[in-house]
Amino acid sequence: MKTKTLDDLFLEQLKDVYYAERKILKALPKMARGAQSADLKAAFEKHKGETEGQIERLQQIFEILGKPARGKTCPAIDGIIEEGEEVLEEFKGSPALDAGLVAAAQAVEHYEMSRYGTLKRWAETLDMKDVAKLLDATLSEETATDTALTELADSSINATALEAAA
């Protein structure tokens, strides 16, 4: 049996995040439709466009590696997206819906930030400078999205959910 290397691990995690991004791309329009806040809808729509670019970057990385762009089922992202869908169903019409959607979206962002951070470090270790730059661009976008969601929650979403409960 062949010994698995960091190159092998890198490729497996790349397939994982590729699958995740494609699942996220399908989930974002549902979240945007479900959001009650116009600002939150806009944030989800903006991130959908960014996710399309992130998928293109991943395809570039597969091309650089000479590998087909194929995903590998990721139970973690499936579970996180399922939780978001539960929020959409269970809190539909509720003042707390948008707060729940922000939380669900941030769970996705934190997963992605973890994956992209690791992949970037491994690319640097493997001396894949071009790949590391592509991964860093995506990591920066994911971090910015997470920050924007926090600011949106702090500026209006959480207060709206609280006021409605009072």
- State yes or no: pLDDT of 10 exceeds 80: yes
Question: What are the chain's domains?
Answer: 6-165 (1.20.1260.10)
**Got the DSSP string for 68-119?**
-------HHHHHHHHHHHHHHHHTTT-TTHHHHHHHHHHHHHHHHHHHHHHH
pLDDT at residue number 1: 83
107-154 residue pLDDT tens: 999 999 999 999 999 999 999 999 999 999 999 999 999 999 999 999
Whole-number average pLDDT of the chain: 96
- State yes or no: pLDDT of 166 exceeds 70: no
Contact 102, 110 (CB under 8 A): no
pTM: 0.93
**Got the DSSP string for 3-17?**
PP-HHHHHHHHHHHH
DSSP state of 2: P
pLDDT at residue number 154: 96
Q: Burial of 35 by CB count in 10 Å (0-12 exposed, 13-18 middle, 19+ buried)?
A: buried
pLDDT at residue number 64: 97
